[in-house]
Structure 1
Amino acid sequence: MMAFMTAPQNILVLGGGVVGLNLALQLLKEGKSVTLCDDGNAPVSASYGNAGHIAIEQVEPLASLATVRSAWRRLFIRGGALSLPPQGIGAWLPFSLRLLAAAAPRPFKSGKVALSEVIAKAMPAWQRRVADLEATDLLREDGHFVVWETPESAAKGLRSWRATDTGTASFREVTEAEKLQLSSLIHRNSTVKVHGAIRFEGTAQIADTKRLLETLQQRFIERGGKLIKARADKLSITGDGAAVLLSDGDWRTADAIIVSAGMGSKDLMEQAGLKVPMISERGYHIQSHDHQWPQGLPPVVFEDRSMIVTGFESGLRAASFVEFTRAGTAPDPRKWARLRKHVGELGLPFGGQGQEWIGTRPTLPDYLPAIGRVASVKNLYYAFGHQHLGLTLAAITGEIVADMIRSGEGPKPFDLARFN
């Protein structure tokens, strides 16, 4: 594509999560003057609270007929991870209808093509990013495990994964030594047994999400980026240009404004006249600093419980749940109780009750991200809505946005115009 004769040089990035930080660093690397606005609330963001899993195996959008068919079995009230709180029906019912439309064969097929192409580039992009950060130890390329607790679920789970496209990732049944190691995680007095397991190869984990965010921000400042500790409260369009009102009371504009503010992106973009049918999809975790998880063991997915357990430098984290509701709704303590029940029944080496966390994944109904520019506003761009793949796609999104700033053209499958 032909680059603009006057490509934007001064960039304002709204949102300092893992996506915003990656694209800000990439733009700095390309010689741009970059200012990043963030309210410093990283500990409650999905960028911090996720499972640390670089999930390049997830090339099939979750907006699928398979997801729709299995939804009733996955409901929280049936012991599953899917939660549809009654008080959130005004949010999740219209979202669900849009998801049903996106799950039809034709849109699912085109969505899978687009998602597969970008996920295939995700791991190389992360390899480039951690090298650029001079912190290659942040990326552990050791795959991950999926475990089943009954012969029936093991047989069914293995069949399901064999029928699933996993992109550039592959998997194999575990060796006897690996099965023994996984079995040793479960307390000998537990009635639970490991009846089957697979090991994915090609996937990875972040050694510690907190250190990743700190390192990204530190490098951004060291390399000349400007950080403003404020959130974007209002987006105003005057003529064909955009300006932003920050929570510190200042109005800001730039050659290019990039909205990458997670769930906050919805209000900002709708102020610019775009339709953004994004929902607050919440996840929960508990984390213990007192644990005996084997050092270096990759993440373990206990698929019968829809729970992933990850050992980080800062502690052992058990994460789960897909809760669709209105933004700002009070947490549901039953989710943390369920996680503790799972950990207790398994007898995992998890000390104490664990620190509780809840956070929001910004999710669009077709389970594809929103990356593009607003054609009618010369300086407005966006990159948000990465749902479960925010960490996975953060580094490659930075590179895509940098290319978009150079060329003026964004990736069409991820343009918000698809919802108009």
Structure 2
Amino acid sequence: MQQENDVGGIGIVGGGIVGLSCALAMLDRGRDVTLFERAADYNAASWGNAGHIAVEQVAPLASPAALRSAPSRLFGIGGALALPPSMIGRWLPFVLRLAGASTPGRFAAGTTALTPLLAGAMPAWRDLAAAIGMPDLLREDGHIVIWDTPATARRGRERWSRTAIGTARIIDAEPGMLQRLGTLTEHVGGAIRFTGSGQIADLRRLAITLEAAVVARGGRIVRQDVRLIETAGRIAVAGHDIDQVLVAAGVRSRALLEPLGYRVPMIAERGYHVRARADRWPADLPPVVFEDRSMIVSRYADCVQAASFVELGDPDAPPDPRKWERLEHHIRTLGLPIAGPYDRWMGARPTLPDYLPAIGRSARHANLIYAFGHQHLGLTLAPVTAQLVAALMLGQTPSIPLDPFDLHRFGNTGRHP
């Protein structure tokens, strides 16, 4: 017999870190779950990111400071921001919306909205890691930020001292930790260490473990593309008997929802990484951010990865090999203890112009829930997002106000446009 607030079958579209976390949250509450994920190669942004649990990033990237610094961060002059001319039709409307979302007032409101979300991120990760029987996947060793010169270190320290960092804290980086990087110590102009942040020790093992946990709890994973349709004022997954639908398909969420009349001004924010065997990189070293080069290096179980770049455009466009070449150049010039051959990867972060996620229930279709657009924070926020989504699906009040994350901020209302 169903409980009073019980629901029928739940269909989750998207099997990345957000979708899988939501599936487990609902299965652990006794619900019937079918998860739809077309890919089985673990090549999406969920499994190719820096592995960093970034609880310090409570200040949205849509900000007056980011707008002012954008020209100096362009790829053509050595920076990490790429606006490919061939994709101007994609990124120009997004950039105009980004500018509108970067006023001091909206930046302050975004920081206020993200602060409680990120405060709950690490506790939610602890709960999830314990629930899947893999507490060793979560490392809470913080991360290191390094600058090339004393001048950029002074500016960087001063900027971080003025930046909201939520539950994280900043201390001096221990000299012994830097010395474990060997020749790199010759290039360090300054360094700090964040405490309170963390890392996933092995993204591939996380993906496999989460999928296995979904199946072990009675959930189903269906490997196929899906189409959403509207019928009798509700949203359905074509060809499947589903009562509630959760869209958690990352950058693909836009293509799923816009045919139904929703405005989703999301762009593919493409990132690049290179990976190599971790023969010489210290196994116990937390993620290292080389801030002057906009690069983060993470050690996983059997490999070390360097990641960078914000390339706005088409998720399906061919990758730009120059990005990988620059990453490999940084590795060489810094003297990092990393040697090729390299595996190269490119993936698309789902980013909305105010750099806040979309989490909520549709005002037009009561059986439609959404959770996407987490930009650089998908891995960080997946478990806490799952807790909020579970509350929505069960008709409960979420622990964090969700109005700042509602799609109505982009003009979606309870009426058809």
Is 1:311 equivalent to 2:310 in the alignment? no
Q: Deviations over 1:380-400 (max 9, x none)?
A: 111111000000000101101
C-alpha deviation, 1:75, in angstroms: 0.6
C-alpha deviation, 1:177, in angstroms: 2.3
Q: Equivalent of 1:239, from 208, 232, 242? A: 232
SS of 1:269's equivalent in the other structure is helix
TM normalised by structure 2 equals 0.95
Q: How does 1:347-386 map to 2 (within 5 A)?
A: 347-386=335-374
Q: How does 1:135-284 map to 2 (within 5 A)?
A: 135-182=134-181, 184=182, 186=184, 193-232=187-226, 234-245=227-238, 251-284=239-272
SS of 2:394's equivalent in the other structure is helix
C-alpha deviation, 1:254, in angstroms: 1.4
Task: State how far apart, in whole Å, the 1-side matches of 2:36 and 2:20 are.
Answer: 10
Equivalent residue pairs, number: 406
C-alpha deviation, 1:378, in angstroms: 2.7
Q: Equivalent of 2:279, from 291, 304, 307? A: 291
Please list every run of 5 or more consecutive structure 2 residues that lacks an aligned counterpart in the other structure.
412-417
Q: Deviations over 1:267-315 (max 9, x none)?
A: 1111221100000110000000253100111000011110000000131
C-alpha deviation, 1:348, in angstroms: 1.2
Mean Cα displacement is larger for which, 37-46 or 13-22? Answer: 37-46
Aligned to 1:248: none
Task: Give the AA of the match of 1:160.
Answer: R
Q: How does 1:315-326 map to 2 (within 5 A)?
A: 315-326=303-314
**Contact 2:254–2:264 at 8 Å: present in 1 too?**
yes
Task: State how far apart, in whole Å, the 2-side matches of 1:290 and 1:254 are.
Answer: 45
Is 1:414 equivalent to 2:405 in the alignment? yes
SS of 1:96's equivalent in the other structure is helix
Task: State how far apart, in whole Å, the 1-side matches of 2:378 and 2:124 are.
Answer: 14
SS of 2:229's equivalent in the other structure is strand
Q: CA separation of 1:409/1:379 partners in 2, compared to 1, >3 Å: closer, same or farther?
A: farther
Q: CA separation of 1:416/1:268 partners in 2, compared to 1, >3 Å: closer, same or farther?
A: same
**Contact 1:256–1:380 at 8 Å: present in 2 too?**
yes
Aligned to 1:104: 103
Task: State how far apart, in whole Å, the 2-side matches of 1:117 and 1:385 are.
Answer: 17
**Contact 2:180–2:282 at 8 Å: present in 1 too?**
no
Task: Give the AA of the match of 2:189.
Answer: H
**Contact 2:177–2:285 at 8 Å: present in 1 too?**
no
Please list every run of 5 or more consecutive structure 1 residues that lacks an aligned counterpart in the other structure.
246-250
Task: State how far apart, in whole Å, the 2-side matches of 1:300 and 1:13 are.
Answer: 34
Aligned to 2:127: 128
Task: State how far apart, in whole Å, the 2-side matches of 1:202 and 1:292 are.
Answer: 26
Q: How does 1:40-119 map to 2 (within 5 A)?
A: 40-119=39-118
Mean Cα displacement is larger for which, 404-413 or 336-345? Answer: 404-413
Task: State how far apart, in whole Å, the 1-side matches of 2:80 and 2:277 are.
Answer: 25
SS of 1:291's equivalent in the other structure is coil
Please report the RMSD computed on the Cα atoms of aligned residues, expressed in angstroms. 1.5
**Contact 1:82–1:323 at 8 Å: present in 2 too?**
yes
Q: CA separation of 1:42/1:394 partners in 2, compared to 1, >3 Å: closer, same or farther?
A: farther
Identity %: 49
C-alpha deviation, 1:6, in angstroms: 4.2
**Contact 1:17–1:42 at 8 Å: present in 2 too?**
no
